Each structure stands twice: as C-alpha cells, then as structure tokens.
Amino acid sequence: MNLYPRAPRRVSIILGLSALVALSPQCARHSPNGNVGDVPKYPWLNRALSPDVRAGLVLEQMTLNEKIFLLHGTAWHALDFSTMNLGLLQSNGGVGYVVGIPRLRIPGIQMTNASYGVTRSRRNHRYSTALPDDLALAATWDADAAYEYGALLGRELRAQGYNMSLGGGVNLAREPRDGRTFEFLGEDPILAGTIAGQEVAGTQAQHVIGDIKHFAMNDRETDRHKLNINIDKRAMRETDLLAFEIGLRISHAGAVMCAYNGVNGEPSCQNKYLLTDVLRKDWKFPGFVLSDWGATHSTVKAFAAGLDQEEPSSVFYGEAMKRAVLAGKVSMAELDEHVHRILRSEFASGIVDDPPREGPIDVDRDLNVAQHLAEESMVLLRNENAQLPLDAAKLRTIAVIGAHADVAMISGGGSGHVDAPAGSAPHFDWRGLRRSAAWFPTSPLKALCARAPHARIEYDSGANPAAAAALARAADVAIVFAYQWESEGMDLATLSLPGNQNALVEQVAHANPHTIVVLETGSPALMPWANNVSAILEAWYAGSRGADAVANVLFGYVNPSAKLPITFPLRDADMPQPTVVEPPAAQRENSAFANLAALFGPPSKQPPPVQLYYNDGLLVGYKWYAAKQKSVLFPFGFGLSYTQFRYSGLRVKDDGGVSVNFTIQNTGNRAGAEVAEVYASLPPSAGEPPMRLIGWQRTQLNPGESKRVSLNIQPQYLSVLDVGQDEWRLVPGEYTIFVGGSSENLPLRQQVRLGQ
C-alpha cells in the first residue's frame, strides 16, 4: 500500500472541509460498545444475532450522508489539527481512517499497515515488534507459525488503537525482482494461500479486521499505476487468484484491497470480472473491497463493478457519490448493499463489541515470538563437510565480515517498513515511501560473541575486500553477512547482490575455506560464489531479534527446518520474460504524479497503460523451470537440516477422496523437523505444468524415530479450471503422486487413476 505526502496547509483545509463538513456525522471517539442496557435502544448490539442481521438493523437507521461517509476515507493526514478545532476526526495516526457513527454506536475504522509489524510507530511515539518478513514466514511452511505471526500483529495493532490491518499480501512472485517480494509469500498458490489465510485468521482472532491484498496480479512496482496485465482466465484462476481464494476461505478476511494495476484492460478497482464475477459470485465473499491508496478511477462504474470503499479520501465516493444517488445513477438498494458489506465486517470482526484499547505491549513476549519465528524461517542452503553447526569449544578466532554486521541487520522499505527503536533514521520521498535502507539494531557481532564467549571475534565492514580477506585468512572460520535491500516503489534490476559483495565473498572464500555466508534478502539472490563457500544460510529480513536467531542456528541451538517458498535461479535470464509494450513516447506521463493528483481531485486524464503480457501463463516459479528443463541454484521447497531424513512406504488411495500416506524416519543423530512435500503430475490431456504442489506436512522427529504421515488432498488441488463451465473439474486419467524433501528431490512416487 502506498502512503501519501503531506499537502500544503491551505489545500489540506479545503479538502478537509469539503469532504467532511458536508457529509460527516458527529464523530467523537466513544466508549466501548455492547452494554446490555444498550440493546433495547440499539438492537444491533445484540451479539446473539448474526453479523448480517446486525448490519441490516443498523442500515435501517442510517441517513444518506452517514451511508456515504462509510464509503471513503478522510485523508486524515492532510488536515492540520492545530488550526482546526472541528472535532470531526479521531484518527489514530495510521494510514487511513473512516469516520464512524457514534449515535448508532458504530466505531470508526482505524487502519494501518502491518505486513511484518505495525508501521509508523516512531511517528506516533510507540513501539512495534518487527517480525521476520512475509517471505520468511512462508519459508516455515507452518500454518501454526502463520497464525501466531498474525496474532502478534493483531495484539500490537489493538494496543496502538488500530482495529484494521492492511497486511495480508498474497501476490505470487511471478517476478522475483519485484520490490515487494519480501511482503508476499512466494511462488506457489497453495502454500501462499494457506500461510496468508492462517496469518489473517490469527489477526482477526484479536478482534481486528483482516485484509488480503492486492487483488490482483500486482507483482511489480515499475509502472504499477499504469500497468495493464494481460493473462488468460484459466492461468489467472489456477495461479494468482487461487492463492487469494485459499487465503479467503481459511481466514474469512473482512476486507480485500484491490490493486493499482489493470487486468485484461480494466483497472483492478473497477474490474467487474475480479470484484463481482470471481470474488462475490464464485467465492461468495461477504466482506468489503477497499481501493489501494489513490487507485479509484470512477464513481458509478467502480461502484457497479464491486468497489465498496475509496481510500484514502473522497474524490469519487464522497460528494460525487451523493450526487449520483440523488440523480438516480446509483440506486438506494445498490448503495445499501455496499454499506451493508462494510458494516457486516465491523460486526463479524468484533470491533463493535470489543474496540481496541490503547495500552502497553508485552515487549518481551513478542520479541520471543519474533525470534522463534525467525529461527524457524531460516533456510540452510549449503553445508559442505558439516561445517555447521559451529562448535564454540573448538573455535579460537572468528572473523565477522559485512556491512553493519557489528550493529544491525537490514529490513525492507516502503509502506510496510517497521520503525526500529534507536535504528537508522528513515528517509522518505514525496510519496511517503522509504528511499534508504533501514537497519534494525540487532547485532550479529554481539550475538555471536554471546555464543562463543571464549573465542576472539573480530569485525570488518567488507568495504575493502582485500582487508576483509586478510582478516578471514587468520581466523578459524569467517562469517560474511551479505544483503540486498528492497522496497515498495522500486524493483530490482537484478537478483545479484549490490555493490562489491560478490567480490567480497569470493576473496574471503579464497582466503579461508571455512567461509559461511549469511544472506539478508527479501527475495532470491544470485550466488556465483556458491560452490566456493562451505555454508550458506538464508536469514531473510529477520526482524527485531534476527541476530540472536542467526547465532542460535549457526551454533546448533536450533536445527534449521525451513524450506524455500521461492526458486533461486542461476541467472536473471533464466526467469520468465513477459512481453512489455510501452505506449508511444508522446502519450506518456508521470504516472506517480497522476496518482498524487487523484488524492486531491479527479485527474484530467488517465495515462495510457503499459501492456504486460504473461506468456508464461500457468508456469509460475518451479513450474516454469521444470517445464523449460532449466537448472536452478536452489529449487523450490529446498532446505537442509543438521540431521537426515528417509522416506518410504508411499500409499495413495482414492476412496471418495485422495489420501497420501508415507513414512519419514530421522536417520541422523539430532532431533529435527522435516517438511515433507507432496506433488502431483496430471494427465497430459489436462495441459498442465509437469507437476504442482498439492500438500505438505511438517513433522518433528527424534534421532532414529519414524512416523507415518497421512494427508487428505483437497480435490481442487488436483483439478483444473474449466473456463467454459467456470468450474473446477478433475481430468480423468493417470496421475503420478511424488513425495520428498523438495521439488527436485522426490524419492517416492506412485501412479493412480482418478476421475474414472
């Protein structure tokens, strides 16, 4: 989600008065709702009634102005409260605010970003815990961890007075160089949808409205305001939209945020196919759709297509909507339908009955959760000659090398950025997007010293590779911390590490054969030096306690169990290359400034779109590499452990539903968890990629222990979309079921005939 700049005071006041005074009810903050004595006067406060019934009862009492006011934000940031004592707004300092209806006991909606932590904390003089980023969460392949992640976000949102999260990113990584890859959940729709669903469910369990975004096909930042994605319906439904479908089915999210980009010729936020045909009719989504910030393009057309709420202001859904209703262009029944969806989500989420109460955060508890999740998310990519875990008793000297590894670890930028206590100061551009790397004060050097107190540990920034190599040469082991900073509002030109980091790793590895690389990235990284180092640990953006988590994994206090949710290619050129068609130069305009103008008034014209054609279709991520028979650096689903696992005894049955049973044994000498992955190859007549993920299970095993794993496969995961009938169907024929530890390590397989 894109933040927006402060407006000049004079313009701000005009916007505030025109948007608020004309339409606003009195909206002072009110006390908690739901007192028993209030029910006779306010029957919708009866918790025994369904959210739909409660919403209907409120709707009957609302005025036209009150209904319209729920349909848009208030551009709260643009109002200078020091010069206005109107008592109209009670924003909590988040990125969006929808005024409530106190006379009817309906609270305002206090929104802020919460991708991997509650944002804007420093600005509001608060503290937020930074969790490992969302891609790291997907690397756990752990539904319980995802729920715990979301629950922490929900608790901290409530403690800061928010009742709606704008996290829940589930866009697939069709383009891993996307600047927001770290905010999303990888390349597979079933994995991404499951993790997103559990995360949002955990947030909503805290009585916070959950959101899933950006609907749909929002997988790059370049030209995102004027990009039109061209993709066939079957490919879209079986990949990107399937992730949304699963996420919504699991989470029952109260809201969906539509995207900046267009899809098949229509902007996402007025795209009838997406918002009505798929979301409402096919998926039966009962919640509301809000626009990304400045992504609304019309009044009547967007409303008819299914957009319920304009954010962050009221350009199209304020006075313009009121005029459309009074002129009969929007019927009262249509208006009520949209308002009902917003009210329903307020009741279903619990924010009416149990409003947030600002208070202290249990910092120690949440830091422990963040560290546990970071430890569970780190992927061991290489471990030659059992270099890891390190034995502190045998180490005399350790060289720690890399930018800021003495004091901090990097985090992602943009609207999801979480402010660090005493961390690097943020630098924002005019859109409110962070334009410089942020470093969290979690020190790898200190954490490693704590785990190896008797070793001499020396640090070098790596600015001079030759000096760093000299330090490494004299050490028992060298640990290089390498990074790639990513942010909303920009894409990576390459997956190669920036600056001189590749040369640094090469020289250090040449000087010391016991070189370990710790990667701090929010996406895959190219590693031309991979075969020259002894160990590689992908730590992602590891959050508030990332350094402690890294040290615990390196020294074996934690046995790594995470698996890659995204393929690491060998070269940039190996990734799919969609066709991009730019408009003629004479027709181009700065789309970012056009978006800014949309916050304060209808743009004079919509810039011509940049056309992007997804020629890869169904072949997202590992499916592309398998279909094209391309070698990769590290495959989807890959991750090493400090122990070993053996698979045996596969049995696939079709007794009215497909079940997969097999045995896993820990054949090593350490306890550990294995994520067992199940894939399927469909009959050739299905026209599908070589294989697809259909299930997995994370199993904890002691040394020598065996467990029988049993999975029931959802029929949809074995089906294809029949576009003509607009339904999922199982293609009759021979299916091959594969089981193993990654998409390229599948020792078990069995054929089964289905659909006969």
Q: Which whole number is the average pLDDT over 132-160?
A: 97
Per-residue model confidence as pLDDT tens digits over 307-318: 999 999 999 999
Residues 389 and 295 in one domain: no
Residues 680 and 532 in one domain: no
Per-residue model confidence as pLDDT tens digits over 409-454: 999 998 888 988 865 544 545 455 556 788 899 999 999 999 999 9
Residues 647 and 530 in one domain: no
The domain that holds 100 is classified in CATH as 3.20.20.300
As a whole number of angstroms, the distance between CA 651 and CA 737 comes to: 10
As a whole number of angstroms, the distance between CA 182 and CA 412 comes to: 7
Per-residue model confidence as pLDDT tens digits over 91-119: 888 889 999 999 999 999 999 999 999 98
**440's tokens:** 């969290």
Domain membership flag for residue 202: yes
482 closest CA partner among 508, 448, 513, 457: 508
Predicted local distance difference test score (pLDDT) of residue 422: 67
Residues 507 and 446 in one domain: yes
Predicted local distance difference test score (pLDDT) of residue 598: 47
Per-residue model confidence as pLDDT tens digits over 258-275: 999 999 999 999 999 999
Domain membership flag for residue 620: no
Q: Which whole number is the average pLDDT over 46-65?
A: 98
Residue 362 has pLDDT above 70, yes or no: yes
Contact 216, 263 (CB under 8 A): yes
Residues 320 and 400 in one domain: no
Residues 428 and 322 in one domain: no
Predicted local distance difference test score (pLDDT) of residue 654: 95
Contact 407, 441 (CB under 8 A): yes
The domain that holds 456 is classified in CATH as 3.40.50.1700
Domain membership flag for residue 2: no
Beta strands in 522-624 (DSSP E): 535-538, 568-569, 579-581, 610-613
Least confident of 204-218, 412-426, 514-528, 726-740: 412-426
As a whole number of angstroms, the distance between CA 186 and CA 178 comes to: 12
Write out the H or E segment, with its range, that includes residue 382.
strand 379-383
Residue 123 has pLDDT above 70, yes or no: no
Domain extent at residue 181: 55-349
Predicted local distance difference test score (pLDDT) of residue 583: 84
Predicted local distance difference test score (pLDDT) of residue 752: 97
Predicted local distance difference test score (pLDDT) of residue 596: 47
**204's tokens:** 């909503």
Q: Who contacts 74 (Cβ-Cβ below 8 Å, separation ≥6)?
A: 16, 19, 20, 89, 91, 97, 98, 99, 312, 313, 314
Domain membership flag for residue 368: no
**452's tokens:** 């190896």
The residue out of 538, 566, 594 marking a domain boundary is: 566
Q: What is the DSSP string of 285-296?
A: --SEEEE-TT--
409 closest CA partner among 376, 437, 443, 378: 443
The residue out of 329, 349, 369 marking a domain boundary is: 349
**How many alpha carbons lie under 13 Å from residue 79 in its C-beta half-sphere?**
25
Per-residue model confidence as pLDDT tens digits over 634-676: 999 999 999 999 999 999 999 889 999 999 999 999 999 999 9
Predicted local distance difference test score (pLDDT) of residue 36: 53
Residues 533 and 651 in one domain: no
Q: Looking at per-residue confidence, does 277 or 94 come out higher?
A: 277
The residue out of 566, 591, 625 marking a domain boundary is: 566
Residue 174 has pLDDT above 70, yes or no: yes
Helix (H, G, I), strand (E, B) or coil at 424: coil
Domain membership flag for residue 197: yes
Per-residue model confidence as pLDDT tens digits over 18-43: 333 334 443 333 444 545 567 889 99
Domain total in the chain: 3
Residues 421 and 313 in one domain: no
As a whole number of angstroms, the distance between CA 514 and CA 535 comes to: 8
Residue 577 has pLDDT above 50, yes or no: yes
As a whole number of angstroms, the distance between CA 442 and CA 724 comes to: 54
Residues 409 and 496 in one domain: yes
Predicted local distance difference test score (pLDDT) of residue 85: 31
Domain membership flag for residue 603: no
Residues 336 and 385 in one domain: no
Predicted local distance difference test score (pLDDT) of residue 393: 96
Predicted local distance difference test score (pLDDT) of residue 32: 44
As a whole number of angstroms, the distance between CA 132 and CA 214 comes to: 20
Domain membership flag for residue 624: no
The total of other beta-carbon atoms located within 10 Å of residue 710's CB is 11
Residue 77 has pLDDT above 80, yes or no: no
Q: Which whole number is the average pLDDT over 229-247?
A: 97
Residues 418 and 326 in one domain: no
Predicted local distance difference test score (pLDDT) of residue 128: 93
Question: What whole-number percentage of the chain has pLDDT above 90?
Answer: 81
Domain membership flag for residue 3: no
Instruction: Give 31-94 as a 3 state SS string.
Output: CCCCCHHHCCCCHHHCCCCCHHHHHHHHHCCCCHHHHHHCCECCCHHHCCHHHCCCCCCCCCCC
188 closest CA partner among 168, 174, 200, 178: 174
Per-residue model confidence as pLDDT tens digits over 365-396: 999 999 999 999 999 999 999 999 999 999 99
Residues composing the chain: 756
Distances (CA, A) of 213 to 196, 200, 258, 356: 10, 11, 7, 23
Predicted local distance difference test score (pLDDT) of residue 599: 47
User: Look-up: residue for tokens 């707004």?
Assistant: 89
The domain that holds 735 is classified in CATH as 2.60.40.10
Q: Which whole number is the average pLDDT over 511-518?
A: 98
Predicted local distance difference test score (pLDDT) of residue 93: 81
Residue 138 has pLDDT above 80, yes or no: yes
Residues 315 and 395 in one domain: no
